């Protein structure tokens, strides 16, 4: 039997996507400063990823942060420091080699996800290639945005249906992005 598919946007959280907000970049920078303090020397670099990092496209109003760390062991020492920032520690959460943290605001709305991987993980390469490809290919970014808007209308708040509906598009763009990134 296959392991259940876990994705960070699941749970009781309402499926809302909205037009790009300029404030998302600032929200990332504010949070990144806190995470840098919490992780100290375990952290190499933080990246703003996901749709909130792509100007002009619709996104769930949740800041996705990619943390590149020296090692997962070095990161694991700081789990309580992340908890002190309001993060729930979810372990791998369906992706081997990841540490996943999620944060809600006082009203119970999800606000941040942190996806941490050890230096040189292929997952880092994949996430960054996807982001850079969408930034460099506005027509593909727009197609992604349009797909998400259609899915929100058709999947009736079912977050699993929404994620599954995006899956083929995301995987195809990711493949294209990795080839493109190697050529640049």
Q: Domain residues for 156?
A: 23-183
Per DSSP, what are the bridge partners of residue 114? 65, 101
Q: pLDDT tens for residues 126-177?
A: 999 999 999 999 999 999 999 999 999 999 889 999 999 999 999 999 999 9
By percentage, how much of the chain surpasses pLDDT 70? 93
Q: How confident is the model at residue 10 (pLDDT cuts 50, 70, 90)?
A: very low
The number of folded domains in the chain is: 1
Q: Say whether pLDDT at 60 is over 60.
A: yes
| Residue 73 neighbours by CB under 8 Å, 6+ apart | none
Indicate whether 54 pLDDT > 90: yes
pLDDT tier at 94, thresholds 50, 70, 90: very high
What does the pLDDT read at residue 12? Answer: 47
Strand, coil or helix: what is 160? helix
Q: Please give the helix or strand (H or E) that residue 176 lies within, else none.
A: helix 159-183
Please check whether residue 15 lies inside any domain of the structure.
no
In a domain, 2, yes or no: no
Rounded Cα gap, residues 107 and 156, in angstroms: 23
Q: Which CATH number characterizes residue 44's domain?
A: 3.30.460.10
* Domain-located, residue 18: no
Helix (H) or strand (E) holding 80: helix 79-84
Specify if 114 maps to a domain: yes
Alpha-carbon distance 115 to 109, whole Å? Answer: 18
Q: Which tokens hold the place of 90?
A: 């979810």
Give the per-residue pLDDT at 18.
Answer: 96
Which pair of tokens denotes residue 72? 């997962």
Q: How confident is the model at residue 13 (pLDDT cuts 50, 70, 90)?
A: low
User: Is residue 14 a part of any domain in this protein?
Assistant: no
Least confident residue range of 8-17, 68-77, 105-114, 117-126: 8-17
Instruction: Give the pLDDT confidence score for residue 139 in this predicted structure.
Output: 98
| pLDDT value at residue 15 | 87
* Within a domain: 171: yes
Per the domain annotation, does 28 fall within a domain?
yes
* Res 14: pLDDT: 74
- Position 124 in a domain: yes
DSSP 18: B
The verdict on pTM exceeding 0.85 is: yes
What are the phi and psi torsion angles at 119 (to 5°)?
A: -40, 135
């Amino acid at each position: 039997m296959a392991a259940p598919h876990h994705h960070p946007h699941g749970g009781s959280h309402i499926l809302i996507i909205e037009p790009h907000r300029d404030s998302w970049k600032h929200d990332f920078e504010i949070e990144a400063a806190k995470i840098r303090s919490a992780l100290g020397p375990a952290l190499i670099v933080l990246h703003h990823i996901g749709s909130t990092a792509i100007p002009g496209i619709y996104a769930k109003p949740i800041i996705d942060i990619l943390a590149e760390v020296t090692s997962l062991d070095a990161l694991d020492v700081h789990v309580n420091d992340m908890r002190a920032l309001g993060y729930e520690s979810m372990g791998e959460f369906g992706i081997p080699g990841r540490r996943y943290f999620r944060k809600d605001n006082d009203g119970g709305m999800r606000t941040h996800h942190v996806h941490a991987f050890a230096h040189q993980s292929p997952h880092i390469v994949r996430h960054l290639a996807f982001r850079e490809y969408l930034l460099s290919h506005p027509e593909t970014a727009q197609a992604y945005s349009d797909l998400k808007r259609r899915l929100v209308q058709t999947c009736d708040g079912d977050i699993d249906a929404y994620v599954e509906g995006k899956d083929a598009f995301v995987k195809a763009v990711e493949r294209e992005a990795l080839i493109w990134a190697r050529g640049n």
